[in-house]
């Protein structure tokens, strides 16, 4: 199994630009989570999906952030427009139905200049 796949691994962009982060969960997993990691705030849940449906998006910082899961094997997290304070490592994780262990991708390190 390839595990959770995230792309890109690193992204450097300028303030105001649109950023799209991508995630492919483990095949057969029903739950997909997006987390953000910063030194100041640690690991924060942004949003999670069950069977492609957003269940809890209360952690999404503001309207500049949006997430979609058009099918069971793909999700995107979009920031538009990006700001320097969005600089962080963004992790995607997935969990099978009935399971409680989350499997994390390697993360995308985002730097907004």
Partner 1 sequence: GDSVTQMEGPVTLSEEAFLTINCTYTATGYPSLFWYVQYPGEGLQLLLKATKADDKGSNKGFEATYRKETTSFHLEKGSVQVSDSAVYFCALSDRDSNSGYALNFGKGTSLLVTP
- Which residues would be at the binding site for partner 1 (CB under 8 A)? 4, 31, 33, 42-43, 45, 48, 50, 55-56, 58, 91, 93, 95, 100-107
Distance of CA 103 to the CA centre of its chain: 13
Q: Check whether the bond before 81 is cis (ω within 30° of 0).
A: yes
Least separation, in Å, of the C-beta of 55 and partner 1?
A: 7
Largest CA distance in the chain: 41
Least separation, in Å, of the C-beta of 49 and partner 1?
A: 10
C-beta closer to partner 1: residue 15 or 43: 43
Distance of CA 61 to the CA centre of its chain: 13
């Amino acid at each position: 199994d390839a595990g959770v796949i995230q792309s890109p691994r690193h992204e450097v962009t300028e303030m105001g630009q649109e950023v799209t982060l991508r995630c492919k969960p483990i095949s057969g997993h029903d739950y997909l989570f997006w987390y953000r990691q910063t030194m100041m705030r640690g690991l924060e849940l942004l949003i999670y999906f069950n069977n492609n449906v957003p269940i809890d998006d209360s952690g999404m910082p503001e309207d500049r952030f949006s997430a979609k899961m058009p099918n069971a094997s793909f999700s995107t997290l979009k920031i538009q427009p990006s700001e320097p304070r969005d600089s962080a490592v963004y992790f995607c994780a997935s969990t099978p139905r009935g399971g409680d262990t989350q499997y994390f991708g390697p993360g995308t390190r985002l730097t907004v200049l």
